Amino acid sequence: MGLTRIGLAGLAVMGQNLALNIAEKGFPISVYNRTTSKVDETVERAKVEGNLPVYGFHDPASFVHSIQKPRVIIILVKAGAPVDQTIATLSAHMEEGDCIIDGGNEWYENTERREKAVAELGLLYLGMGVSGGEDGARNGPSLMPGGSYEAYKNIEDILLKVAAQVPDSGPCVTYVGKGGSGNFVKMVHNGIEYGDMQLIAEAYDVLKSVGKLSNDELQEVFSEWNKGELLSFLIEITSDIFGIKDDKGEGYLVDKVLDKTGMKGTGKWTVQQAAELSVAAPTIAASLDSRFLSGLKEERVEAAKVFKSGGFGDILSSQPVDKAKLIEDVRQALYASKICSYAQGMNLIRAKSMEKGWDLKLGELARIWKGGCIIRAIFLDRIKKAYDRNPELPSLLVDPEFAKEILDRQSAWRRVICLAINAGISTPGMSASLAYFDTYRRERVPANLVQAQRDYFGAHTYERIDMPGSFHTEWFKIAKQSKIRGHL
């Protein structure tokens, strides 16, 4: 056998699938894992899935030496210490000009640290977000590589073929930018994903709890929605979920699933970064909070007892609702809420890009999310077009087309949230989106009062609307004098 074109280390399912995908696109690939059975398993799968050019190695030295120079090795192991260990193992055998690509969900600063560390050895480094789950890795993921441009150029031909292909908008990959930008963008992608899932869950809750829709009806509704502006992977799988019967008993599986959401951390990082950069991301934060509260299952069970025994049981009214109207209202509320959530995510990326000098192209990011990844949706095309129209757009909300879409939907949006509030059904994501919109669109917000309070107790000073400068007032003294006068 001659030298292979690329290598991949870390053969859990994602790694195996990505290796097979690369091989299938015609690039001979070397694979390695410390657990040698994983190597044999991958080579076996390559045989079964079409005699794909996958070559397995049981030791790091022969693995590295089997790859043509400049060598490119993708590592797909758990983020954190395992990445450092794998880099140490492999880099010992690599040479100047070779490149390491970390395809994990890594914290962007770790990538920047490693890029510097391996540069001392003359190695190039990329941190590449990979989205689309196991299926995406095998059949075409969305790829978000950031770091060394030279390294990107060395494997651009591979990435262009391996990524998901979307008609009229090309492969779902682009050189994102320098440093840890690829990881950062993937992190925000995941935060947006949290938001989308929460908004869909709230739509489900309102339709089920207020509208009394059955799972069959829900399946129908979501599959209808998936034919229009909400068309997306998450809406599609949601529709599928409502159709699946429980294989261990009566009824539908979704009703047997424990209402406790797990998480791995990227959503939390997104919210932390938003706070760090002073960017409001309330919809994404609400989705994270909802996961935290969902985790308190036992406490919620007890709380429900307390409020029921206190006479506060089911406050859902028995008033009949117009189902068709509710369904259409919820559809519009979901769409409008989603616009606000994406506006937050995009603004977070822009803020970081400015802080770090990454020069990220927001429209291009929307384009590479159109296929392969979990948030893929027809809606992303509109986002791309909004940034094509105006790359300096301060917020998606003020793009003329999105502004119109929101205005067209705001009555329905408000109706759904009012209905939910009155029924005691929480819609934290939709409500956060609406509050975000209602704050952002207002010329004057009550921050004047907060500023006055700050100046009152802390002499923090304030600015005036009618003249320049910074002012301080002895609020307390004046108030005291007028109180005394009042008593006289």
Ligand X SMILES: *[C@@H]1O[C@H](CO)[C@@H](O)[C@H](O)[C@H]1NC(C)=O
Residue stretches of the annotated binding site = 10-15, 33-35, 77-79, 105, 131-133, 189-190, 194, 264, 291, 454, 460
In the window 64-83, what residues touch ligand X (CB under 6 A)? 77, 82
- Residue stretches of the annotated binding site for substrate: 105, 131-133, 189-190, 194, 264, 291, 454, 460
Structure tokens at 49: 């899935």
Minimum CB separation of residue 86 from ligand X in Å reads 5
Number of other CB atoms surrounding residue 325 within 10 Å: 12
Query: Which listed residue (106, 115, 193, 405) is catalytic?
Result: 193
Number of residues that bind ligand X (CB under 6 A): 11
Quick one: which of 16, 18, 19, 38 contacts ligand X (CB under 6 A)?
A: 38
Q: Within 25-148, where are the H helices?
A: 36-48, 60-65, 81-91, 108-119, 133-139
Number of other CB atoms surrounding residue 223 within 10 Å: 16
Q: Quick one: which of 192, 200, 46 has its CA closest to 129?
A: 192
Q: Which residue is nearest to ligand X (CB)?
A: 34
Minimum CB separation of residue 413 from ligand X in Å reads 46
Minimum CB separation of residue 38 from ligand X in Å reads 5
Side chain identity at 164, as an amino acid letter?
A
Q: Tell me whether residue 57 or residue 436 sits nearer to ligand X (CB atom).
A: 57
Each residue 7-36 as x (binds ligand X by CB under 6 A) or -, in order, gives --xxxx--------------------xxx-
Structure tokens at 51: 């005699």
Q: Determine, following the binding rule CB under 6 A, whether residue 86 of this chain makes contact with ligand X.
A: yes
Q: Within 310-375, where are the H helices?
A: 323-356, 362-368
Minimum CB separation of residue 396 from ligand X in Å reads 39
Minimum CB separation of residue 90 from ligand X in Å reads 8
Rounded to whole angstroms, how far apart are CA atoms 41 and 12? 10
Q: Tell me whether residue 75 or residue 386 sits nearer to ligand X (CB atom).
A: 75
Question: Residue 30 in 3-state DSSP?
Answer: strand
Number of other CB atoms surrounding residue 273 within 10 Å: 20
Strand ranges inside 142-247, DSSP E? 142-147, 165-166, 170-171
Q: Tell me whether residue 33 or residue 215 sits nearer to ligand X (CB atom).
A: 33
Q: Tell me whether residue 59 or residue 408 sits nearer to ligand X (CB atom).
A: 59
**Any idea which residue has 């993937």 for tokens?**
186
Q: Tell me whether residue 33 or residue 105 sits nearer to ligand X (CB atom).
A: 33
Cβ atoms 124, 153 nearer than 8 A: no
Q: Determine, following the binding rule CB under 6 A, whether residue 40 of this chain makes contact with ligand X.
A: no
Query: Which listed residue (24, 115, 178, 186) is catalytic?
Result: 186
Count Cα atoms within 13 angstroms, Cβ side, for 480.
5
Whether 193 is catalytic is yes
Cβ atoms 189, 353 nearer than 8 A: no
Q: Tell me whether residue 33 or residue 427 sits nearer to ligand X (CB atom).
A: 33
Whether 120 is catalytic is no
The CA dihedral of 95, 98, 104, 109, to the nearest 10 degrees, is 80
- Residue stretches of the annotated binding site for NADP(+): 10-15, 33-35, 77-79, 105
Active site residue ranges: 186, 193
Residues that bind ligand X (CB under 6 A): 9-12, 33-35, 38, 77, 82, 86
